[in-house]
């Protein structure tokens, strides 16, 4: 069985408070983006995990696809499988590529072995793999709270809009990004801002990570400015970086302007 794990962007991201368990409570909107990896899972005589495309760092045992299989195998005594991942979504980009691969592995295994797990049951496994993994169990925009696992439908649609996603060759430490933030509740709820016209988002739809990350990595701030210079209706950093995206009202080809970075353009479904 083959699937195409998609990535996401964050439409607004507020760090609301530091929790007693060491995590942070956030408020954000995860929005699906049609840039995908390719994931295949088939039954086999012995377990195997292979990759192609972009290099995947770390040992295979630590890969989230492998961890997803083992989570279900522990409870359902699954037959061995071969997992093949062709990596297209860049890592360390703040777009959830690894979490998407993990969640789509759960979805494929649920179908392949006819486990008939409900969304809530799948969510209980996904949250063990990563805070934003639960988002990738459905293919629609979602408001997220808690650590990112508490989801509700988002009142926003970018259907027909165009997106440009760029990633510079720098790595942003999520821990360091959080360390640069003083948690606080936003003056205006994210849900209310998302219901405003796209053109008003520039001043109102904020990612709290931009201030500390831009201070440490001015190249990322420069990419955001370049997206606005090239006509973006809205531009922002996704997650804790390093990717920046621009939303456009009409098709745009900026490949030459962004030849120095990882560049991708597409249309929202």
Residues 135-188 have pLDDT tens digits of 999 899 999 999 999 999 999 999 999 999 999 999 999 888 888 998 998 888
Minimal CA–CA distance to 126: which of 114, 143, 109? 109
Catalytic residue among 8, 123, 167, 224: 8
Q: What is the pLDDT of residue 187?
A: 85
Q: Are 57 and 46 in contact (CB under 8 A)?
A: no
Name the CA radius of gyration of the chain, rounded.
Answer: 19
pLDDT reported for residue 19 = 83
* 63 vs 42: CA distance, rounded Å: 17
Amino acid 134: pLDDT: 96
Query: With contact defined as beta carbons under 8 Å apart, do 35 and 165 qualify?
Result: yes
Q: Is 132 a catalytic residue?
A: yes
Rounded-to-integer distance, Cα 161 and Cα 248, Å: 6
- Mean pLDDT, to the nearest integer, of 122-132? 95
State the catalytic residue, choosing from 37, 101, 132, 208: 132
Residue 167's SS3 state is strand
Told to judge if 123 belongs to the known catalytic residues of this protein, a careful annotator would answer: no
164 with 245: CB under 8 angstroms?
yes
pTM for the structure as a whole: 0.96
Closest CA to 170 of 114, 110, 220: 220
Over 80: is that where the pLDDT of 22 sits?
no
Residues 143-157 pLDDT 10s: 999 999 999 999 999
Angle at 200 (CA atoms; ends 7, 194), nearest 5 degrees: 50
- Separation between Cα atoms, residue 148 and residue 133, nearest integer Å: 9
* Per-residue confidence (pLDDT) for residue 174, from 0 to 100: 87
Gap between the Cα atoms of 258 and 244, Å rounded: 12
Domains of the chain: 2-153 (3.30.230.10), 162-267 (3.30.70.890)
pLDDT over 80 at 98, yes or no = yes
């Amino acid at each position: 069985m083959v699937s195409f794990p998609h990535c996401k962007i964050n439409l607004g991201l507020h760090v609301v408070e530091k929790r007693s368990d060491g995590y942070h409570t956030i408020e954000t909107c995860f929005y699906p983006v049609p840039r995908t990896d390719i994931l295949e899972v088939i039954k086999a005589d012995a377990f195997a995990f292979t990759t192609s495309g972009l290099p995947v760092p770390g040992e295979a045992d630590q890969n989230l696809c492998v961890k997803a299989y083992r989570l279900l195998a522990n409870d359902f005594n699954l037959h061995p499988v071969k997992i093949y991942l062709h990596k297209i979504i860049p890592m360390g980009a703040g777009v959830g590529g690894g979490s998407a691969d993990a969640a789509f592995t759960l979805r494929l295994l649920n179908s392949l072995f006819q486990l008939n797990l409900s969304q809530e049951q799948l969510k209980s496994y996904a949250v063990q793999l990563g805070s934003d993994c639960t988002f990738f169990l459905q293919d629609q925009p979602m408001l997220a709270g808690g650590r990112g696992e508490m989801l509700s439908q988002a009142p926003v649609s970018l259907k027909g809009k165009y997106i440009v996603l760029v990633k510079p060759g720098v790595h942003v430490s999520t821990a360091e990004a959080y360390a640069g933030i003083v948690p606080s509740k936003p003056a205006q709820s994210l849900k209310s801002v998302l219901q405003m016209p796209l053109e008003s988002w520039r001043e109102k739809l904020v990612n709290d990570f931009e201030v500390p990350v831009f201070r440490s990595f001015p190249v990322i701030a420069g990419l955001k400015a370049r997206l606005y210079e090239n006509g973006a209706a809205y531009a922002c950093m996704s997650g804790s970086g390093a990717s920046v995206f621009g939303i456009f009202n009409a098709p745009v080809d900026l490949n030459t302007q962004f030849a120095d970075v990882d560049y991708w353009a597409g249309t929202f479904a």
